[in-house]
Structure 1
Amino acid sequence: MSRPIRLAINGYGRIGRCFLRALHESPLKNKFQIVAINEPADLESMVYLTHFDSTHGVFSGQVGQGPDCLIIDGQEIHVSHAQTPEGVDWARHEIDLLVECSGRYGLRDELTRFVDAGCPRLLLSHPGHSAQDVDFTMIYGVNHEKLKGDERIVSNASCTTNAIVPVLDQLHRAFGVEQVYLTTLHSVMNDQPLIDGYHHSDLRRNRSAMQSIVPVATGLAQGVVRFLPQLAGKVQAKAIRVPTLNVSAIDLVANLERNADVHAINSLLKAAAAKQPGLLAYSDAPHASVDFNHDPHSAVIDGSQTRVNGPRFANVFVWFDNEWAFACRLLDALQAWSVRCPAMGQTPKHTLESV
């Protein structure tokens, strides 16, 4: 007997809430059912921030509150407030998969604590500490077909790798990449304060997020090489936080192995977007970042910003909604995994025997 695939969310912050909203707006909402959320914050705040969102607007369905539960369109979702993986009786909810959105756990021995506590599978909304700490790292549209289905811990990488790896892969295949430098212009995040304060070990992140452009550390170069090992030693990256609520961009500068002009680069990327609708998009309109708020594409190539300086020195600009697009990719990852794992959605044997 099959049933909806039962999901839980650990960490109900920006990505956790976007994931719930994305599922609610998706045709997949009848296939996947969120049955539990673990979040240290109080239930009243969780309900309120589900209903009202400064970035993505008012929730399109009905949001309510019951005893220890968030209610979405009449469906109760059990809520707990544990601080550790073992603090939740995950087995009680008979979940098929946990979507780990807290970002607090990246090492394999940390992640397996969820498995030991009753979570048969984990999908991470972050890269994990390293490739060795997870069973598989997925960028949907790039390598999801290599997923076997028997994995326990799968990473959905990061919003930046989902945005730039498909673009960089196309450039490397067509023109060869000798060196590439990536600069991410990223909207503010919750590891930055509104006003200067004692907030983070990275001293710059103690400065007001809304008053300055703030350089921060990034692991994007390592994330790219995890998917494109042929570019090992050729990728450098930096990140700059900018005072906007949402939507980010990546400025790609590359030395190419073969000659390319603006038309050739844009034609390549426009064709790639046409082959992957819903994942990549192309536009040469005069955009500003707000145009891509709530945009589900992993990347939108801005053809108006493509430049070359000489025959092999190229510059490409990519927009992406760092919240919504990534939440949509989490759904794609779930769908890809469920297709390869028939055990998801099967009624447990002990449940059948009790009927």
Structure 2
Amino acid sequence: MAYRVAINGYGRIGQSVLRAIYECGYREQLQVVAINELSDIETVTYLTRYDTTHGRFPLPVSHNGTELLINGDRIRVLNEASPSAMPWQTLDIDLVLECSGSFSDRPTAQQHLDSGARKLLFSQPAGSDVDATVIYGFNQQLLAAEQTIVAAGSCSTNCIVPILDLLHRELGIISGLTTTIHSAMNDQPVIDSYHQTDLRLTRSAMQSIIPVNTGLHRGIDRLLPELAGRFESLHVRVPTINVSLLDISLNVSEETSAVHVNQIIRRAAEGPLKGLLGYTEEAHASVDFNRDSRSGVVDGTQTRVSGGKMIKLMCWFDNEWGFANRMLDVAQAWLNCRSD
């Protein structure tokens, strides 16, 4: 029997999560019974059927005025602005996938639970007061049946944290610097516009490379406390619509070489992290990783080591599809936890 799931917020991640449920084998355990989105149902239906980044939905999609209809499934479409107004108890919701990006605090998440949902999973980094922040493939063992509010991190933490954990255990990381080269997002205008407190984000997403603020180093501190205070992070947005790149510089304690570093990554990608971490030595461009469900793919052709202890890595990741799949991995593993 499938768990009953609601998606709150039907933007890029919410849409990717729904598609991944149907396209990647999650539908047997996760049944979406409701979507809450302030837009009208005609637009919700249209944006489900057609997607510039991921192509046409592979199954029939229509609506009957109040429900999205997908391959025989009936998904109630709501237009509620407040979590306290959600009919989760009536709909018997096991899990809310919080994909709105509009909040990340426990008190607001609690309103979904007070409305009748049993659990809530954030699609973004949340406050330290959530029950756990889980990166699938790294610390999913922290999940427990009694938890009610969990975060799935971010696309970039899902990409980098398993790599840092692996290399720290093998080589001993002293310090690091990351630069996320990220595709444009929907908080950026197509042409210069107002409505942003960060003046750089008032500029056209399609015309410029734009530095923006990032909390990735704080996420590394929280998830890998043994590396706390050792990382700084930068983030730039570039004029593409999907697939991003993490440029990772590491100072390590053990002497190494590019060949050795690549061997470490390849062994993990073919072994314990297979399906989550990838490794390639082909001549790739970013578009080659569109709809790649792995958390990240290290490009071995770009690995460099300077002075034996300074490592440079480049890791591709589909910031929509890869993260949506990891969020669903966390959801499925969490819902399948059994009470002691």
Give the Å deviation of 1:170.
Answer: 1.0
CA contact (8 A) 2:29 2:332 kept: no
Question: Hey, what's the Cα distance between the residues in 2 that align with 1:117 and 1:27?
Answer: 29
TM-score relative to the length of structure 2 = 0.98
Alpha-carbon deviation of 1:27?
2.2
Q: Which amino acid aligns with 2:277?
A: L
Alignment of 1:305-344 (within 5 A): 305-341=302-338
CA–CA separation in structure 2 for the residues paired with 1:31 and 1:111: 23
C-alpha displacement of 1:105:
1.7
Equivalent residue for 1:193, pick from 161, 172, 189:
189
Q: 1:25 aligns with which of 23, 26, 36?
A: 23
Structure 1 residue 149, shift from structure 2 partner: 1.7
Matched-pair identity in %? 46
* CA deviation string 1:239-297 (max 9, x = no partner): 00000000001000111111111011000000011112110110011110000000000
Which residue number in structure 2 is paired with residue 349 of structure 1? none
Deviation, 1:117, is 1.3
Tell me which residue corresponds to 2:281: 284
2:134: which partner in 1? 138
**Contact persistence 1:193–1:199 (CA under 8 A):** no
Residue by residue, what CA displacement relative to the aligned partner does 1:298-331 show, whole Å, maximum 9, x if unpaired? 0100000000111111101000000000000011
Aligned counterparts, 1:119-138, within 5 A = 119-128=117-126, 130-132=127-129, 134-138=130-134
Amino acid at match of 2:203: R
Instruction: Provide, for residues 39-95 of structure 1, a one-character-per-residue CA deviation record: whole Å limited to 9, x for no partner.
Output: 001111100000000000000001001121111112110011111101221111011
Q: How does 1:104-123 map to 2 (within 5 A)?
A: 104-123=102-121
Structure 2 matches for 1:151-230, cutoff 5 A?
Answer: 151-230=147-226
Looking at structure 2, the residues matched to 32 and 112 of structure 1 have their Cα atoms a distance apart, in angstroms, of: 22
Does the aligned pair in 2 maintain the 1:182–1:237 contact within 8 Å? yes
* Distance in structure 1 (CA, Å) of the matches to 2:115 and 2:107: 13
- Partner residue of 2:235? 239
Runs of 4+ in structure 1 deviating by more than 2 angstroms, as ranges, are none
**Partner SS for 1:21:** helix
d(CA) in 1 for partners of 2:338, 2:155: 25
> Do structure 1's residue 267 and structure 2's residue 259 form an aligned pair?
no
Within the alignment, does 1:298 sit opposite 2:295 as a pair?
yes
Secondary structure of the corresponding residue to residue 332 of structure 1: helix
Q: How many pairs does the alignment contain?
A: 339
Aligned partner (choices 63, 84, 87) of residue 65 of structure 1 = 63
Structure 2: how far apart are the matches of 1:314 and 1:74?
A: 51
Structure 2 stretches lacking a partner, 5+ long? none
Q: Is contact 1:11–1:38 with CA below 8 Å preserved after alignment?
A: yes
Q: Distance in 2 between matches of 1:27 and 1:198?
A: 41
* Secondary structure class of the residue paired with 2:166: helix
- Is 44-53 or 273-282 further displaced after alignment? 273-282
- Are residue 148 (structure 1) and residue 147 (structure 2) matched? no
CA drift of 1:342 comes to 6.6
Q: Encode CA deviations 1:126-179: one digit per residue, 9 max, x unaligned.
A: 111x222x1011000100022122100010000000000011111111111111
**What is the CA–CA distance in structure 2 between the aligned matches of 1:190 and 1:206, rounded to whole Å?**
12
Distance in 1, matches of 2:22 and 2:43, equals 20
Structure 2 counterpart of 1:110, which letter?
T
User: What is the DSSP-based 3-state SS (H/G/I as helix, E as strand, rest coil) of the residue aligned with 1:131?
Assistant: coil
Q: What is the distance in 2 between the residues matched to 1:5 and 1:42?
A: 26
The one-letter code sitting in structure 1 at the alignment partner of 2:142 is K
Which of 87, 92, 95 does residue 93 from structure 2 map onto? 95
**Is the partner of 1:340 in helix, strand or coil?**
coil
Unaligned runs of 5+ in 1: 344-355
- For residue 12 of structure 1, give the secondary structure of its aligned residue in structure 2: coil
Q: Please tell me the residue identity of whatever aligns with 1:202.
A: D
CA distance in structure 2 between the partners assigned to 1:36 and 1:27 by the alignment: 19
Instruction: Tell me how far 1:28 sits from its aligned partner.
Output: 2.5
What TM-score results when the alignment is normalised by the length of structure 1?
Answer: 0.94
Contact 2:256/2:309 (<8 A) preserved: yes
- The CA deviation string for residues 83-137 of structure 1, in whole angstroms up to 9 with x for no partner, is 1101221111011110000011211111111111111100110111x222x1011
